[in-house]
Chains A and B, each alone.
Chain A
């Protein structure tokens, strides 16, 4: 526990009022434990002065603090992003990988990928409980540029990993779909607009050709498959069209999407960064639309990045996406393998050589990378320890993502991420849904399977 956290703990649990923009409710939070309660706005003073809420919380505050500490500091890796090639057939405006790698880089040879997965398998067996498989996601650049190698690796290690593939969808032909779906590989596509003109603003080939129709065709191929999703990267180019995006996804029977803020790690991305307020307004309109569609049809379109925010509030340890927690999951819950064998805390850092923690196939391998100075720069980034996050009431519902952005865009690891005000609004929106009894409508059906209720006043 940090000195700052110890000082707070010595003062005893305290609740901070937060205006969530709701007609009836305000939130009271203890950011040190990620505890929250929604109270009638007319009763804030009474609740803060004492009574059943504060008494019940004080009984649990210690266990909640321990739980959050374990989540933030005691995890071991259980997943890896695999970059089997440096190359991509697209030149997206906001990509976090340098253009020279994507246009003229190298593929990882099959024998090197096989050797890498063998070493990763052995590492994960040493740190994960027996019976649990690590997750491995083939990731961008564009992994299907090196398709034969990727598919050989999936078959060679089918018993050792749960595989996923994040692809731009342009090379996902019928044979590839058959191969991947027959092996239960989760498949993620990328699409940035409801029509070609919007997608083309940020996602085109190197020659400037549209790929919108190819992604739509890939979506049609995947219809009915249980494990696929589409990521939309939200930029100033497509923000006015997010509601139409979710309408398209729902019509195409996409089970899960992500409406991610553009990661502002490299300068190209910053050129299409939306303003925080605009991002919030557009995302909430799109989320509202998914809810209407769900009520009209009975079929959910899950917006997974927002679902993770909700779960981080309702059940902090049940969250799965480790961007919205501090320290983030990079270099501690997962890491990334670059096509040249280099290890990085997350794929977001692959374009930044100073964050290379060593080579997987070199002596020391993963263990050496996890304790390297490069990784520790990321894994010690703690929102409790720097301003303004250290005084923020929602800092453990947010995590101030992302360290790569903070470092490259804002000048250091002890700086906020790219979308501070947006995150505050997003947490307020999530709390309003909870106040209105709608939160479950935005989550998958069995999201709380395996959890136990440790606090309830309702």
Chain B
């Protein structure tokens, strides 16, 4: 009897812990009109280049 209780209790705790601690799903997508610059200076050319 005691053994059964002792065996079940950790299982319940483990299940509860798993449910509680499962990491939240992460999924993000952003969209825009593609303009397809494609060149190696693409980041620079989007910037104001004042010195």
Contacts and interface: CB of A to CB of B under 8 A. Distances in A.
Contacts of A13: none
Nearest to B42: A320
A186 interface: yes
B45 A164 contact: yes
B37 A333 contact: yes
Contacts of A11: none
B37 A320 contact: yes
Contacts of B34: 70-71, 75, 317-318
B49 A225 contact: yes
A450 interface: yes
Given A164-B41, A334-B39, A454-B31, A181 B26 contact: no
Interface in A272-330: 302, 304, 307-308, 314-318, 320-322, 329
B41 A166 contact: yes
Contact of A258 (B40, B45, B46): B40
Interface residues of A, number: 74
Contacts of B25: 37-40, 47, 53, 457-458
Given A70-B34, A320-B37, A329-B38, A227 B44 contact: yes
A321 B45 contact: no
Greatest chain B CB density within 10 A among A64, A77, A316, A320 is at A320
B22 interface: yes
A188 B37 contact: no
Interface residues of B, number: 31
B27 A226 contact: no
A227 B49 contact: yes
Given A135-B37, A229-B44, A256-B43, A457 B32 contact: no
A321 B40 contact: yes
A442 to B, nearest CB: 12
A322 to B, nearest CB: 3
A24 B21 CA distance: 11
A7 interface: no
A38 B26 contact: yes
A162 B43 CA distance: 13
A457 B27 contact: yes
Nearest to B46: A320
B18 A226 contact: no
Contacts of A321: 38-40, 42
Contacts of A149: none
Contact of B44 (A57, A164, A307, A334): A164
A24 B24 CA distance: 10
A455 B43 contact: no
Contacts of B38: 78-79, 320-322, 329, 333-334
B11 interface: no
A209 interface: no
A186 B51 CA distance: 11
A137 interface: yes
B26 A227 contact: no
A452 interface: yes
Given A184-B50, A314-B28, A229 B37 contact: no
Nearest to B18: A42
A416 B47 CA distance: 34
Interface in B1-44: 18, 22-44
B19 to A, nearest CB: 10
Contacts of B47: 186, 226-227
Contact of A37 (B22, B27, B32, B49): B27
Interface of A: 24-25, 35-40, 42-43, 47, 53, 57, 60, 64, 67, 70-71, 75-79, 81, 132, 135, 137, 162, 164, 166, 181, 184-188, 224-229, 231, 256, 258, 302, 304, 307-308, 314-318, 320-322, 329, 332-334, 434-435, 444, 448, 450-458
13 contacts: A25-B23, A53-B25, A67-B31, A181-B49, A226-B49, A227-B48, A227-B49, A258-B40, A304-B43, A314-B29, A316-B31, A317-B33, A455-B28
6 shortest A-B CB distances, which residue pairs?
A: A227-B49, A322-B38, A329-B38, A320-B42, A37-B27, A186-B44
